[in-house]
Amino acid sequence: MSRRPIIGITSYVEQARWGVWDFRASLIPYAYVEAVRAAGGRAVLLPPDSVDDDVLDAVDGLIVSGGVDVDPARYGAEPHPSTDAPQVDRDAGELLLIHGAFERDLPLLGVCRGAQLMAVARGGTLIQDLPLGVHREVLGVFNQHLVKPVGGLVARLLGDAEFKVNAHHHQAVDDPGALVVTARAEDGVVEAVEDPTKPFAVGVQWHPELLDDRRLFVALVEYSGSSIRDRG
């Protein structure tokens, strides 16, 4: 292969400060970029843009990152009092990219919110407020808990034994729609979803970019490299 696979990572739009500046910025925790680079890929940031999905023709794989809650209107629900104010532009742009990735068989990894959006894109719904405990207890601090793979790529890549992940979320996939659940937490909450009709379309509820285990990113980059070769 003549170049590293290019992995697009959807980004947050938040007020940010650096030096003497204070602006709205398109940003992402650098751990995503490091994880892609360590896996052999080249990361590029994709700000929200709902005009078209043409950028997918310029990347070899896609990561839909974590962030604020998905707008419940996207899955036909009324907002729970604890649900974040919607980021309409981000929801629209990321759903467009997810649909485009599915249509192109582009390797796709959803992280936390990204996994939830994958389910919504396939007709699923979300739990809007989980009780405090396993998945979030202290704001800004990741909980550690066990996940059990139940098949699919997750089991093939990570094994079928329980393993420990990090968590900080109060929402989760309820109905996965056309996706398949391939891992659950110790309390039964959905931890991974996949589209088994695609070469690599995996969403995980935890944050693998903050763990030492890089196997999901290595697999994403390897599948993305295969897509380069397939395109000639």
Q: Which two tokens stand for residue 213?
A: 């285990």
Phi-psi domain of 151 (left: phi exceeds 0; alpha: psi -120 through 50; beta: other): left
**Catalytic entry in 94, 112, 169, 194:** 112
Catalytic residue among 80, 94, 207, 222: 207
Q: Catalytic: 14?
A: no
- Is 191 a residue of the active site? no
Classify residue 198 by burial, with Cβ atoms within 10 Å: 0-12, 13-18, 19+. middle
Q: In terms of C-beta density within 10 A (0-12 exposed, 13-18 middle, 19 or more buried), how is residue 5 classed?
A: buried
**How many whole angstroms separate alpha carbon 50 and alpha carbon 43?**
21
Give the residue from 4, 38, 68 showing the smallest Cα distance to 210: 38
| Catalytic residue selected from 135, 162, 209, 222 | 209
Q: What token pair was written down for 204?
A: 């995980």
Annotation says 137 is catalytic: no
- Give first-to-last CA distance, the chain, whole Å: 10
Catalytic residues: 112, 207, 209
